[in-house]
Amino acid sequence: MRSITMVQKLGKVLTNTRRFSSANSISSKPINLFSAINQALDLALDTDPRSYIFGEDVRFGGVFRCTMGLADKYGKHRVFNTPLCEQGIVGFGIGLAAMGNRAIAEIQFADYIFPAFDQIVNEAAKFRYRSGNQFNCGGLTVRAPYGAVGHGGHYHSQSPEAFFCHVPGLKVVIPRGPKQAKGLLLSCIRDPNPIVFFEPKWLYRLAVEEVPEDDYMFPLSQAEVIREGSDITLVGWGAQLQVMEQEGISCELIDLRTLVPWDKETVEASVRKTGRLLVSHEAPITGGFGAEISASIVERCFLRLEAPIARVCGLDTPFPLVFEPFYMPTKNKILDAIKATVNY
């Protein structure tokens, strides 16, 4: 009975929600990424009375102010602080979601998500499977700021997405900017599966664009071709897309958006057209998700490839502080790799 009620509630939410397209009729205004996250959380709380936000310091707005004003608007029983215990935050979220609620857990930095790894990987991801679909915690969304920020060092700069991409039962989503962040986060919160949503903290204040004020969602597991090209396909996600824009060579730029399950068909179609592929991410190159993309595309497009697939990624070292510029997959590194691939 509870499941039917939740489906009916979700149906009402979706009926009043726009699936965002390129239409310009939607009222919008320029805001940055953390404000877009705040709008999405505001809408999630407003449209579903069984949604809750919790984590370290979220009541006053959190370190990056993504939850600012929400406790005052919706009450301390729906937006509340937790102890400094990531395992407890996610464990509580699993129980809350299992009771039919929308549990939105915030991990203050993605670098500190590892104490919760067991709860995410062994509990949340397997909850539905081990019960034969009698129970689930699909209402759980785990938010975490990830990636470089210019001065974070090895405990505030990591990109751990590949760890979770290896786990059946989870979805992993990463936005590239404010408009995407709002629409994708709302989709994650309303999706019937547990999701890890990584937010590029480097862009919280730097990325500003027109964002619709309405309630809208972007489809998960659907990549977006940001720019069409004919010479090479560039694939990335999150903040890395900001440095992948290149001039002078006809590059087809694709934002993967959802890493698991990822949109193989869109990437495959692009590579069949260009004959070349470059994948870039901040995480270390060994075992990074770029390796999975590379292997899959070789299997699907081997006879169409004109050059070896290139990967421009972080180095296989702990994330450095002073030497961050040498570690990062920079614009110049990407340009060199593009030239080498095109001229192969």
Catalytic residues: 86, 156
How far is 94 from 96, CA to CA, in rounded Å?
5
Give the end-to-end CA distance of the chain in Å, rounded to a whole number: 61
Pair 287, 308: CB distance under 8 Å:
no
- Pairing type for strands 216-217 and 18-19 reads parallel
Pair 278, 252: CB distance under 8 Å:
no
Question: The dihedral of CA 42, 181, 328, 314: what is its sign?
Answer: positive
**Maximum pairwise Cα distance, the chain:** 62
- The total number of residues shown for the chain amounts to 344
What is the three-class DSSP state of 225?
strand
Tokens at 19, concatenated: 């699936």
How far is 305 from 153, CA to CA, in rounded Å?
38
* Neighbouring C-beta atoms of residue 75, cutoff 10 Å: 11
How far is 289 from 291, CA to CA, in rounded Å?
5
Residue 316 is given by DSSP the state S
Tokens at 111, concatenated: 């670098």
Backbone Cα Rg of the chain: 20
Pair 233, 271: CB distance under 8 Å:
yes
* Omega before 261 within 30 of 0, i.e. cis: yes
Pair 106, 55: CB distance under 8 Å:
yes
Pair 40, 188: CB distance under 8 Å:
no
